[in-house]
Each structure stands twice: as structure tokens, then as C-alpha cells.
Structure 1
Amino acid sequence: MEKKKRFLTLFGKALNVELVKMPGQIPFKMYQRHGYKASVVFYKGYDKFTYHKNVLKGLRLILLKDEGKFMGLDRSLLKFLFKYGKKIDVLHRFHYYPQTMVYVIIYKIINPKGIAYVTIDNDLEGLKIHPYSLLFKHSANFIRNFIAYNIIEPLFLKKVDLLSNETRQGTERLKNLYKKYANKFFYQPYGIDETFIKERNIRVKNFEEKENIILHVARIGAPEKNQKMLLEVISKVNLGDWRIIIAGPYEEADEFLKFVDEFFKKYPHLKEKITFLGNIEDREQLYNLYNRSKIFVMTSNRESFGLVMVEAGYFGNYVLTTNVISAMDITDNERCGDVVPIGDVEVFARRLQYAIDHPEYIKEKAERMKIHVRNNFLWEKVVDRLQEQIEMLRK
């Protein structure tokens, strides 16, 4: 009997929610669909991890003590690699950082036959700062930057086997930037776990069964989510019998909550229209919220992907978003939703008002979105593409 191959995602400091996003879903689906002995490495003490017990059954969660840094690298991850690197068939790591590059180089020295795969998970804003490398400055130290750009990155690009980016635009930009290694880059979006939905008999409601809810799911108060813009948009829209639900954990929220207080003083009639739910850990509860709502809005200044748009689209929401890097992929170039310029309150408000006033318009786009998500953004299909890349390397 052939020995099961080991797939390991080396992550580090994380919250429980990372398990139901790419750091947990990729290894879990590689176990579920392709028979790997799959694990993810997190640090203990930063959150209570539960999703691997009730949502991702079969995924092994390895919890390490955070032992601090050694020359900018995580001591615990280094020790783990040196001890177990030879036993890992596929090493998966996130982010195009110098630390990731060093871990990959060490792994490939320890285990030359192993496959090193890096998910870049970056909105590519760094290219505006340093157009010749995705490695924008991680340190003010000239010597460290010189070593990163001129020694570590070139060696990493030779050693690494696969590099993925979650948007088509981003993938093409990276292939053009690193032409010599273009064959190592491939498009790998985020997805939604349809198996989980089917196992729990969650039925996607049709448009007529849904409520007049405009939904926003994000980290509340995080500057890049730009929820101040969302409230400004709402103040310019005639909601009629529609209401707004904002869900997500509070993060760096003090300034935003002060803004909310001032907003409701200025627009007291909107207080009964807008509900802040806070964090929803239970995936079924969150999916129920998507299932009830008709419109999903996102006003972010930047996103590496924006998985919530895919989740909302799966449950038949019309998606209205700012033009973050993934917007055209997720809306299929606006065939399944609408995209407005980042920060443009007036245009966003006009589009939202049109959506509220034209139910047949948003119903048609939402139906297209459901098909688009099922064809392109299921975790099952995402990891099948990854496995194809791995098998090509093994030939």
C-alpha cells in the first residue's frame, strides 16, 4: 500500500478564522479530495481553535509555542522545519516575504525532492513602491534590504516550485515581472466549501424568499475596509423598507466607533435601519445571513481577494464593490455584479439606489453570480487545480 503523502501549511501566529480561509481550507481539501496526510502549523495562545474539530474534520492542527525571533525568523518554525522537513512532501507557505523565502530555501536544502508551494496572498500594492520586485521594503536597514533583494530572492526563485496569486490580474503582473520564472506562477483564487454546505443540508433560497437586507461582512473598523465610506453612502440613499446589517469582529475600531456615534447624531433616522452584529464565529449562522440578504456591499480601499464576496455570491446576493484587485474576477467583469471606483461615494450611492429600485436587475445579476461562483470558486475545484500543478512537477 502506497504511503500517504504529507501536505503541510506552515503558518505561525493566527486566529481561529484562518482555518476556514485559505490557510486551513487548502490542506483540508488536499486531505479530503486527494488523500494527503494534511496538517497546518499555528502558534498556540493567540486564539481558541475550534474549526478543525467541527468544520474541518480530518485536518491535523499542530500548535507550537511561539519562541520569538532569531534574525527576523520565527525560532519555532525554524526548529520545526529542521526536525520534520524531510518528512514533508509538499510544504505550503503564505506571503511573499523574506522570511517565507528563507523557510523555503531551508526546506529545499533539507528535502530537495519536496515540493515548495507559496501562496502570495498580496494585493500587489508593493509594486507601486518598488516596481522591480514584490519585495517592498520590510526593513529600514540597508544591509538587510540588499541581502533580501540581491541574495535571498534570486535563490528563492530558483528553489521554489509553485507560486500562486489569487487574482488573474495579479498573476499576469507577476509573470511579467518575473519572466524567467513565469512558468512557476499560476492563478489560484479563494473558494467556498460546498461540501460543508451540502452536509448540513443548507438550501440556497431563491430571490423571492430573501429579505430586503443590504449586507456587509468585514473586520469592523479596519482602515482598509473603509466603512466610513459605507455609512456616507447609506446617508445618500433612500432605503425605503430596506435595512443594513454589518457583521464582523471589531478591529482597531475606536476611531470608527466615534465616527458611528457622530454619524447617528447627524442622521438619527438611520439608527433603526443599521444593525451592527459583531463577529459571527458559527459558519452556519453566517451562511444563513448571506441566505437572507439580497445585496452585498464592499467599500474596501484594498483587498488581496475578498472571500466574503464569493460567499455572498454563492447564496444569491447581488454584489456591489469598489474596484479592488479581485473585483473583476469575482463579478466576471461586471456580468454578475457591479464595480465602482475606490473611494467614490457618489457613484457607489447611485449604483446602490439603482439596485434598490430595480429588483429584476439585481435578481438577474445574482442568478448569474450563483453559476459563476459554482464554476470558479469552490474549494474543491481550487485544490484540484493545485493538485494538477503538483502532478505536472512529479512527471
Structure 2
Amino acid sequence: MKKFYCLFPHGKNIHLIKDVGMIPYTLHKEKLYEAHISFYEQEENLPSLKTDVNGLIYDRIKNFFSNDDIDTFFFLLTRFWKIDVLMMFHPSFKKVLIACFFKIITFNRIKFYFKLDMSEKTFENDQNPVSSMSELRKFFYRKAGLFTVETNKVKDLLDESSFVNVKYLPNGFNNESSCQINSQKKNIILTVGRIGSFEKDTDTLLRALSNVDLQNWEVNIVGPIETEYHENITQFYRSNPLLLEKVKFIGNISDRKILNEYYKEAKVFVLTSRFESFGLVYAEALSQGCYIISTRLAPAYEITSGEKYGFLFDIADDAALSSKLSDVISGKDTLPEYQKIMSFANTNYDWSVIVRKLHSMLEG
């Protein structure tokens, strides 16, 4: 069986249940490749290898040179003869040169796959990061291998004359953690992310909630809380004492089974992010039948099937968010059946479906 390697030097345990780990793991699970993953991290610090991605082979990168590119080069130099496909993220020019070098010495036997993990924010002010490349750099990028992006919008924005082999491939969810919902969902609004970070813009959510009559609904805010954000939370409750029992800051949840119970119970998933390449939480929420209310980002538009299974509002527009939440809570807006949302998710965003598309791209 062909061998697939994913190199992500600064990977931690959490990355094993994100796209970094789920792509090689699912390729293994689907018996498409013998899959390996490589971080600097010691194996004993990666418990998810035995629980969430059992069967994925760990091959540690040695941090000899304190330089990711040099360490990657020597890692490949000691193993290139047994690697068939190599996956890396964020293709710097040095990574592209490394890829071209090993393609040359293996007579083009090794296939390289680069996941761009790029959001439309990269193209703000019409600045295409590819258009300014020299012709020599473009030449090497054309020869390096397969590149994928997570949304069709970003794919369209990229200059395909530079990245000849750019393909669309979204992120997904692990169907092993998705389950049939046997009871009716509860009147719960859920958000999951790094609470208080600039990217996630929790302030917009809290401003919106201050102007919503939650009635018999509650809000669960899940994720690690930035240290400096605790004062904002305290101020929120001071200003809205009636929300103390209705808006709950749950904190970080590392156990995926517990987190899935939160998705499973929630009717609505809210994300107020300023930018996302493709938030994995979108696919996780969709897989559990959550209606998605999100800022107007490319991945949100696609994963809601053009707002069929969600609603989009402008970044930092708390008035639009509070208005939509009020309409949902009052029953003015009827949500799609959660079974239909789950069916859409299973068809389009199951990792098993996605990696089979990847396999076709690599072997086609």
C-alpha cells in the first residue's frame, strides 16, 4: 500500500482532531493509504493517537536545527525512498523548493500536496498575494504539486495561471463522532471558539445578546477564554443581570464526546468571526443538525448552501444578529428540519467523502 505522510512540525495533540490529523487518519480508515503524521512533539504528549486517530502512524520530526525548513529537508532526506505522497500546509517558497528537489531526485515519483488554509481576508484591498510573484517563483510553484483551498471563493480569487493545480477541497467532520439525534433539540444557542480573541469577535455576540429577549432559550459559549477577556464577561453580567442564568460560559471542552453533546442539543450555532479559512466548527455544527448564523464569510455561505441552512450578517453587525436571534426565538422564522441539515452535511462534508476526492486528485 502507498504511504502518505503529513508533516506539520509544530503540531500538538489538538491538531490530531483537526484537518491536520483527520485527513491522513481518514485516508487510513478508508484503506486508501498507509498514513503517517509527523510533529516535533513527543509521542507521549499525543494521547489522541490512541483514542481519536488510532491506526495513524506517528513518525516524529527531530528538531536538530531549530529551523522548520531545514528540519523538514533532513526528515525527508532520511525517508524519501519510502514516501509516496507528502502533505504540508502553507506553502512558503522554501517548502516549494524542497518539494521540487525531492521530485527531481525521485524522478517525479513523490507527489506533494499543499493545503493552503487561506481565507478571503488574504485578498483585502484587491491585493492578490500570487500576482506579485516573479516568473521564476511561479515556475517552481507550477512544478511543486497539488494545491487545495477550502472555499470556491478563494479558489476564484487565486491567480490560476500561477497555481496551475489549485483545487477546491473543504474541511469536514468526523462521522465517527456524528450520531443520529433521537430526541428533539432544545432551545439552545451555541458558539464554540477562542472566547475573547480578535478573530472570533465575542464582543459582537455579547452586544447582540444584550438586546434579545431569550424567553425560554439559553446560550452556551464554549471554548478557552482569553485571560484579559474575563473583565468583559464580568461587565456583561453587571449590565445584564437577568442573563446570568441564561448565558453560560462553559470554558474549554477537550473531550470530543462531551462537545458533541453540546452540538447535538443546540438548535442554533452562532459564529461572529472576523475571518475564517474554513472553521471546522461549521462542519461539526452542521453535522449535528444546527442552523448556522454567521458573519458573511465565504465558508459560511458555502456550508449553509447559500443560506438555505443558515443566515449571514455583516462583520460586527450586532443589530442584525440580535434581530435574527429574536426572530428565531419568537418563532417568526421557522428553522429547517435538523434531519435535512444533517443529510446535507453527510453528503458534502463528511471527511470520508472529502478524502476520497483528494485521493482522486492525487492518483487521477
Aligned to 1:89: 84
Letter of the aligned partner of 1:35 in structure 2?
L
Aligned to 1:232: 207
Aligned to 2:223: 248
Specify which of 257, 261, 264 is matched with residue 284 of structure 1.
257
Residues 59-99 of structure 1: per-residue CA shift (max 9 Å, x gap): 012233434544xx443222101211232100111113334
Does residue 217 (structure 1) correspond to residue 215 (structure 2)? The answer is no
Note if contact 1:85-1:110 (Cα within 8 Å) is conserved in structure 2.
no
Letter of the aligned partner of 1:298 in structure 2?
L
Does residue 121 (structure 1) correspond to residue 117 (structure 2)? The answer is yes
Residues 245-278 of structure 1: per-residue CA shift (max 9 Å, x gap): 111123xx13322211222222222122122222
Aligned identity (percent) is 29
Q: What SS class does the counterpart of residue 4 from structure 2 fall into?
A: strand
Does residue 188 (structure 1) correspond to residue 183 (structure 2)? The answer is no
Q: Is the alpha carbon distance of 1:241 and 1:6 closer, same or farther for their aligned partners in structure 2, counting shifts above 3 Å?
A: same
Does residue 36 (structure 1) correspond to residue 47 (structure 2)? The answer is no
Greater helix proportion: 1
Residues 283-305 of structure 1: per-residue CA shift (max 9 Å, x gap): 11111111111111000000010
> Relative contact order, CA 8 A, sep 6+: which one is greater?
2
Q: What SS class does the counterpart of residue 276 from structure 2 fall into?
A: coil
Specify which of 46, 52, 68 is matched with residue 55 of structure 1.
52
Aligned to 1:166: 150
RMSD: 2.2
Q: Is the alpha carbon distance of 1:347 and 1:151 closer, same or farther for their aligned partners in structure 2, counting shifts above 3 Å?
A: same
Q: Is the alpha carbon distance of 1:47 and 1:270 closer, same or farther for their aligned partners in structure 2, counting shifts above 3 Å?
A: farther
Note if contact 1:120-1:165 (Cα within 8 Å) is conserved in structure 2.
yes
Shift of 1:389: 0.9
Q: Is the alpha carbon distance of 1:78 and 1:124 closer, same or farther for their aligned partners in structure 2, counting shifts above 3 Å?
A: farther
Shift of 1:151: 7.0
Specify which of 291, 294, 315 is matched with residue 288 of structure 2.
315
Does residue 326 (structure 1) correspond to residue 299 (structure 2)? The answer is yes
Does residue 370 (structure 1) correspond to residue 342 (structure 2)? The answer is yes
CA distance, structure 2, for counterparts of residue 6 and residue 129 of structure 1: 41
Does residue 380 (structure 1) correspond to residue 352 (structure 2)? The answer is yes
Note if contact 1:96-1:135 (Cα within 8 Å) is conserved in structure 2.
no
Paired residues for 1:16-31 under 5 Å:
16-31=13-28
Note if contact 1:191-1:307 (Cα within 8 Å) is conserved in structure 2.
yes
The count of residues paired between Structure 1 and Structure 2 equals 363
CA distance, structure 2, for counterparts of residue 63 and residue 152 of structure 1: 33
Q: Is the alpha carbon distance of 1:97 and 1:258 closer, same or farther for their aligned partners in structure 2, counting shifts above 3 Å?
A: farther
Q: What SS class does the counterpart of residue 297 from structure 1 fall into?
A: strand
Letter of the aligned partner of 1:158 in structure 2?
R
Residues 88-141 of structure 1: per-residue CA shift (max 9 Å, x gap): 1001111133343233233323432211111110114233367342499xxxxx
> TM-score under structure 1 normalisation?
0.86
Q: Is the alpha carbon distance of 1:100 and 1:234 closer, same or farther for their aligned partners in structure 2, counting shifts above 3 Å?
A: farther
CA distance, structure 1, for counterparts of residue 31 and residue 4 of structure 2: 10
Q: Is the alpha carbon distance of 1:205 and 1:229 closer, same or farther for their aligned partners in structure 2, counting shifts above 3 Å?
A: farther
Shift of 1:150: 2.9
Aligned to 2:97: 102
Q: What SS class does the counterpart of residue 238 from structure 1 fall into?
A: coil
Letter of the aligned partner of 1:245 in structure 2?
N
CA distance, structure 1, for counterparts of residue 131 and residue 281 of structure 2: 27
CA distance, structure 1, for counterparts of residue 136 and residue 162 of structure 2: 16
Q: What SS class does the counterpart of residue 153 from structure 2 fall into?
A: helix
CA distance, structure 1, for counterparts of residue 338 and residue 157 of structure 2: 30
Letter of the aligned partner of 1:30 in structure 2?
L
